[in-house]
Amino acid sequence: MSIQFQGAIRRCFLQTRTVGFPRFASSTSSKLWLKRQSKDPFVKLRAQDVYRSRSAYKLLEIDDKYRVLRQARTIVDLGAAPGGWSEAAARRTRQYMGRRNQPVIEDDESLDSTLRYDRSTSRIAIVAVDLLPIASIPGVHTIQGDFLSPQTQAQVTSVLDGRPVDVVLSDMCENMSGNRDRDSESSLQLCLAAFSFAKTHFEQTNRLRDPRRGVLIMKYFAHPDLDEFHKGIKPMFRRLEVFKPKSSRSDSSEVYLVCIGWKGGA
């Protein structure tokens, strides 16, 4: 890892950012958004079942293609509110475990008990973190706090209680300002923060020499400024793909970095 890249990671923690939803500048843009929503097939799908957000389908598409959740036992979802990705991960891993007839955690109480007292890799633990409150999700332990803060990261570490992390998810996005350079910089800072969090936990995982662990999935907005970040982390994973789900709006520049198989690096 270059000194410049390491410096960028350190700088990303100098200020805490708030993750939230886009703000609309006018009633006209709000009407356009509502019109687009009414025609969106994935919004209609969400209305037909119990997924709490459209974004759930993005993670399911990623897993359909890369099977990143198939072997996952411990998953941390950063910037998780309202909980669509955590919900999708809980359902999908439950399906995988059901096929193997292995135990699945069903509520916060049993999850916390498993994390603290039973580190058996036959059980699944999902931890969701966000500044905003997250309504209860079966099989998911929620933490309300800014994951960029040392206090919240310490809380996550305490909840995991030494359990190795298999997958780190980040569908985070700041309020869009409309300024492409500023929004790109915000996206980069969140990616750096997610990577730094994942690196800390994957280093522990790597010591266990388990090749199924060490997956990082994060959203970013395509921009030349992010090329250095992409190049900087690529050698640290066995496989790195850029993926745009069909459920991602065609007019959006958002894409996902799917990083599989942590190798580590200097």
Closest CA to 215 of 121, 43, 88, 76: 76
- Burial class of 96 by CB neighbour count within 10 A (0 to 12, 13 to 18, 19+): middle
Q: Which two tokens stand for residue 259?
A: 């990083």
| CB atoms near residue 190 (< 10 Å) | 24
pLDDT at 101: 56
For residues 242 and 259, what is the distance between their CA atoms, to the nearest angstrom? 9
- According to DSSP, the β-strands at 254-262 and 167-170 are unpaired
- Burial class of 2 by CB neighbour count within 10 A (0 to 12, 13 to 18, 19+): exposed
pLDDT at 18: 38
DSSP annotation of 235 reads G
For residues 96 and 1, what is the distance between their CA atoms, to the nearest angstrom? 35
Q: In 3-state terms, what secondary structure has residue 140?
A: strand
For residues 5 and 200, what is the distance between their CA atoms, to the nearest angstrom? 16
Give the residue numbers annotated as catalytic, written as ranges. 219
pLDDT at 5: 57
| CB atoms near residue 111 (< 10 Å) | 23
User: Domains of the chain, with CATH numbers?
Assistant: 3-11+55-262 (3.40.50.150)
Per-residue pLDDT of the chain (266 residues; tens, 9 = 90+): 555 555 555 554 443 333 433 333 445 656 654 555 555 554 555 455 668 888 999 999 999 999 999 989 999 999 999 999 999 999 999 999 876 555 444 444 444 434 433 344 457 899 999 999 999 999 999 999 998 898 998 899 889 888 889 999 999 987 777 777 788 888 899 999 999 999 988 987 665 566 667 999 999 887 777 888 999 999 999 999 999 999 776 777 889 999 999 998 75
Sheet holding 74-78, edge to edge: 140-144, 125-130, 74-78, 167-170, 215-221, 254-262, 237-243
pLDDT at 179: 79
pLDDT at 46: 46
Q: Which two tokens stand for residue 155?
A: 């809380």
For residues 217 and 259, what is the distance between their CA atoms, to the nearest angstrom? 6
pLDDT at 152: 93
Q: What is the DSSP string of 85-105?
A: HHHHHHHHHHHHHHHTT----
